Structure 1
Amino acid sequence: MNIEMDTKLLQAMPGIKLGINYYTKITVSESPQMLKGRLQLFQEQLFFELEDKSVTDFPGIQEWRTVWKALGADPNRYRHSTEALMRRVKKQNYMTPFHSAVDLNTFFSLQHVIPAGIYDFEKIVGDINVSTGTDTDGYDGLNGRFNSLHNILLLKDGFSPFGSPFVDSVRTAVTEETTEALHIFFIRPSMDATEALALTTACGNMFTSISGGEVCSYVLHEGQTSIIVN
């Protein structure tokens, strides 16, 4: 599988980077108590931190709002997934455990203040293009409704779009049957490629420490716009 970043996306936002973990031989199941407790505690700590500051005071939130504007989207109307998570935490509407893959994805997104998505590798059709959505791009999302992706960064395979920093699709959702997955981290543009790879690798190591299996880590950026995953 080839994963390639569109040149027009890089022209609009030169610093854009994607961390990519390819997992094989993983086991997705109910999260261990350690992960459940860590996710709950982290949200409680964030809640107290958010009592004295705004969600948009976090640099990661602000940077992705800037990306939205650079691509032509309204960050107030289409909040990226991490901002949406943070606003839930601020209201004490905490995320409840789902399964190990989703819970880890939520934890990483909150910990690093960046959008992240995890996708069942076997449900992806052909190669992946990372680009900006047109007025015809959209899908049925995990939020229970159809989502337009016009002017929003997206992941598109040979069939249709399936992921974005906004909301992910139902089609490629990870389940407890998943054994291979792609984990995408929408890195802050200000972070350099070396830091981005370190973050992606650390998340991959934590993921496989809980879900087993093996991981290969990559970063897409202006200096490396495509990779082959197999």
Structure 2
Amino acid sequence: MIDDIRVDPAVTALRPDFAVLVITAYGLANGPSDDRSRAWLADAAAAATPLDDPRIEAWRAAYRAFGAKPQRTRPSVDALVRRMPLPEINLVVDAYNSVSVRHGLPIGGEDLRRYEGAARLVRAAGDEPSEEALGEPEIGEVVWRDDAGITCRRWNWRQCVRTRITEETADALFLLERLEPLGHDELRAAGDDLGRLLAEISPAVRVETRLIG
């Protein structure tokens, strides 16, 4: 599945500096937030990327490039840094949220077993199937989707309910997204941090990675 994930050339044309580190994790034993994941969130909040950091501003500029207003629909890392203390969701979501704010990059987490076909990042035609809570995508909007429809609108703004990671999630997909000035070395460091936390949650987890872009 990881080899079938793709980024459409229209997205690359919009932001040639875009890259995504794809991580798949099989055999997770997820569960509710605990003292361990609360410590991850607290430590990350203490070292969170500032809102005026160029890494976050790069995402605001990317949103403007396809017509979105980032002060109304914020990039995920921008919205997350504004939520202090960081919300407790479940072990796996707490893990990737803590990595997101610490490294200053958006991270999406998806339940692989609820996917239909491979994930792909495209510019919307405007007629893609979308959950009512997400609303219809605008023409040219950057969206993640699968064969069933939109999985995340406005690049990384809001995820659909269908593929969210829950306490029952056993196999997951993580999308660590990069724009300049965040370097590839830091992108990989964020991936290593996430892999380490997933191994703490589930010592037997099997992880695969692929860099696109």
TM-score range, shorter chain: 0.7 to 0.9
Tell me the TM-score normalised to structure 1 length.
0.80
1: CA distance, partners of 2:60 / 2:129: 20
Is the CA contact 1:137–1:161 (under 8 Å) kept in the aligned structure 2? Answer: yes
Match of 2:13 among 8, 11, 14: 11
Is the CA contact 2:110–2:164 (under 8 Å) kept in the aligned structure 1? Answer: yes
5 Å-filtered alignment, 1:125-164, equals: 125-137=116-128, 139-140=130-131, 145-150=133-138, 151-163=140-152, 164=155
C-alpha deviations, 1:58-83, integer Å up to 9, x for none?
A: 12210111111222322222211111
2: CA distance, partners of 1:59 / 1:71: 19
Match of 1:83 among 69, 78, 81: 78
Q: 1:130 to 1:209 in 2, by over 3 A?
A: same
C-alpha deviations, 1:134-192, integer Å up to 9, x for none?
A: 43347348xxx334443443211111011241111101011122111001111123344
Number of aligned positions between the proteins:
207
2: CA distance, partners of 1:134 / 1:76: 24
Partner of 1:174: 165
1: CA distance, partners of 2:46 / 2:184: 31
2: CA distance, partners of 1:96 / 1:68: 24
> CA offset at residue 33 of structure 1?
1.2
1: CA distance, partners of 2:96 / 2:166: 13
5 Å-filtered alignment, 1:183-198, equals: 183-198=174-189
Q: 1:134 to 1:189 in 2, by over 3 A?
A: farther
Point out 4+ residue stretches in structure 1 off by more than 6 angstroms.
none
Amino acid in structure 1 at the alignment position of 2:126:
D
For structure 2, the 5+ residue unaligned runs are none
Tell me the TM-score normalised to structure 2 length.
0.86
1: CA distance, partners of 2:161 / 2:202: 22
5 Å-filtered alignment, 1:81-120, equals: 81-89=76-84, 94-120=85-111
1: CA distance, partners of 2:121 / 2:47: 34
Instruction: Give the secondary-structure state (helix, strand or coil) at the position aligned to 2:161.
Output: coil
Amino acid in structure 2 at the alignment position of 1:83:
D
Partner of 1:217: 209
For structure 1, the 5+ residue unaligned runs are 222-230
Instruction: Give the secondary-structure state (helix, strand or coil) at the position aligned to 1:64.
Output: helix
Is the CA contact 1:17–1:189 (under 8 Å) kept in the aligned structure 2? Answer: no
> CA offset at residue 205 of structure 1?
2.6
Partner of 1:225: none
Q: Percent same amino acid at aligned positions?
A: 22
2: CA distance, partners of 1:194 / 1:41: 22
C-alpha deviations, 1:75-101, integer Å up to 9, x for none?
A: 222211111122233xxxx23322101
Cα-Cα RMSD? 2.3
2: CA distance, partners of 1:10 / 1:128: 16
Q: 1:110 to 1:193 in 2, by over 3 A?
A: closer
Q: 1:107 to 1:138 in 2, by over 3 A?
A: farther
Instruction: Give the secondary-structure state (helix, strand or coil) at the position aligned to 1:146.
Output: coil
For the pair 1:121 / 2:109, whether they are aligned, the reply is no
Is the CA contact 1:197–1:218 (under 8 Å) kept in the aligned structure 2? Answer: no
Match of 2:195 among 204, 225, 230: 204
Partner of 2:64: 69
Amino acid in structure 1 at the alignment position of 2:107:
A
Is the CA contact 2:77–2:104 (under 8 Å) kept in the aligned structure 1? Answer: yes
